[in-house]
Amino acid sequence: MKIRSRARISSLTLGKAGILANKAADTECVVRTNYGLIQGKHCVTKDGYECDCFLGVPYAKPPVGELRFKKPHRMDPWEGVKKCRQFGNRSVQEDMPWDKVTIFTPQSEDCLYLNIFAPTIDPTKSYPVLFYIHGGGFMMDSAVRYKPENMARLIVSQEVILVTIQYRLGFLGYFCTGDNVAKGNYGLWDQLEALKWTKENIHHFGGDPNRITVAGQSAGAVSADLLSISPLSRGMFNRKIVMGGNSFCYWSTTTKEKCAEYCRKKALKLGWKPRSKGYASKEEESLEILDFMRTVPARRLGTHMVGNSVFFNEARLPLTPVIDGEILPKAISELRAEAPSMESITGVGTQESLLFMALGAIRGTGKDMDKLVHELARKTQLHVAEVKEVVGKVYGDLDKLRRDRKAMQNAYITCTSDIFANYGCYRYLEHSQKHNKNTYAYRFDYTSRNMWGWLAVMIPYLAGTHSSDIIYLFDCNYFTAPLPMTKTDRKISRLTSSSFMEFVKTGNPNASHLPCTWEPVAKNGEMRLLNINEKPAMIDEIFDKRIQRIDDCLKEILSRRSQA
């Protein structure tokens, strides 16, 4: 067997590809990494797309036993050849009902693995790298969703190397005691460790370590954005793609006190009993909670977004990154001000919160709107009457909306989409106007009944929503498996993947499949974004100017208060 230091290694035909189409060649590939030899496989799809796949590559020691609730520890070098031909374990979580019958990769606390999909086109080339972080509210999902056959067709065929990663989720990834005993952010540290591994090893696979784009969706987008401003990842990548979230979103981080309280309640629920005589210090109690939580079977620490009362009742995520004094050493606004700017793509679905209605978490009734109004008043310095004033001016008179169920649903979906994603996206774009690197914005307006699958009956209308962008970027449906694409679906998928991969390669997303010019956000003047649908076009009046109207209403209210 011939071993090379980079790119394609050997060509020993082992048989037919089981994971791809009939008659697809499955060929052995061996690469020498900094830690030892790994064996992947060369795959060819039924359409002739080729890809070298290395699945389940360990990038850190298993975070089990005493390593639970600790930063990831680097792998020790190994002897022999490590087989990396199937996905590694997923992080512990509560699966969605459809995932239980479509995803068969096991869950385990031992989940720190990454996957590499590399071109076989020309081993003398040095390819740009897309490092992708999956979303899921820091509580669920995995890299298993991104199948080799689709990555070969949509990403690798465009001469880009794709790296997808697993990281700790839920309590295993973000457990925090609010002090120095357990600082949290373990999932974020995992992502940083995977990025370091990629930076140090990707040249063995034909990748250019100086051309890495970090991308993510939802919580993965927040993670990508946080890594871009953390001092510990400075200089490790030069572009980012943040989809359906960023660090401006209210749910992107929480205080360590709130996170610690949520974790303490979980410990109590699992059986931890505080001493009746109390503790000499907060740290003493924290150590006892930490010791107890290390004894809990990992499966009992799985989490899920749907039905999570904190997310839907308090409009925040309970387990998120926190300011820990290390990977996030100070306030996000300060880190952002200090971080070097970089080229980026950012965007949202037309109606981001429509997904959560489809999942049955919200219905958009008058009662839901009243609950939202009171929650906004509780979280801000506004009175309930003032929140109602803003909602009335921006989304419609509440009394009139109550007499029209569909109108109330539409107003509620639009309002919660603004709160959940659009507000953060708008602030991100505002910030981009202040630095000298280009930012390209989009609204994913396209959808189809096929994409929604059986969930289509759960929503009042079809629209682009949370996750629509990655469904077409990667051909990975969250709602039906597989996505039976129509001719138009395939057109949108090609347009999205070609534009995004052109950005990964050049910093400019204007590719041949795009029938118009995707303009960067103007540094001076009105912001514009690309509306992605059957007829892509640049549009003005981002979010129909609702964010500006909200700002104007708030200024008016504060002005009245100052004059009272």
Quickly count: other Cβ atoms within 10 Å of residue 159's Cβ.
16
Which amino acid appears at position 453 of this protein? G
The owner of tokens 């008043």 is 377
Question: Tokens 């790994």, residue?
Answer: 38
Question: Cβ neighbours of residue 415 under 8 Å, at least 6 residues apart?
Answer: 369, 372, 391, 394, 395
Residue 311, pLDDT score: 60
Give Cα 284 to chain centroid, integer Å.
35
DSSP 298-318: GGGG---STT-HHHHHHSS-S
The three state secondary structure string of 425-480 is HHHHHHHHCCCCCCEEEEEECCCCHHHHHHHHHHCCCCCCCCCHHHHHHHCCCCCC
Answer yes or no: are the C-beta atoms of 478 and 97 closer than 8 Å.
no
Residue 366: count other Cβ atoms within 10 Å of its Cβ. 16
- Residue 92: CA count within 13 A, CB half-sphere: 19
Rounded to two decimals, what is the model's pTM?
Answer: 0.94
Q: What pLDDT score does 508 carry?
A: 98
pLDDT for the residue numbered 102: 86
Q: Which fold has domain 49-69+84-340?
A: Rossmann fold (3.40.50)
Q: How high is the pLDDT of residue 305? A: 65
pLDDT at 96: 84
- Neighbouring C-beta atoms of residue 487, cutoff 10 Å: 6
Q: How far apart are CA 169 and CA 259, in angstroms?
A: 14
* CA distance readout (Å), 35 to 60, 77, 210, 258, 538: 11, 4, 21, 39, 47
- Mean pLDDT, the chain cut into blocks of 10 residues (564 residues total): 42 34 56 97 91 98 98 98 98 89 94 96 86 97 95 97 98 98 99 99 97 98 99 98 98 96 98 96 98 98 69 75 98 97 98 87 88 92 96 97 96 96 98 95 95 86 95 85 84 97 98 94 93 97 95 95 84
Q: Report pLDDT for 481.
A: 60
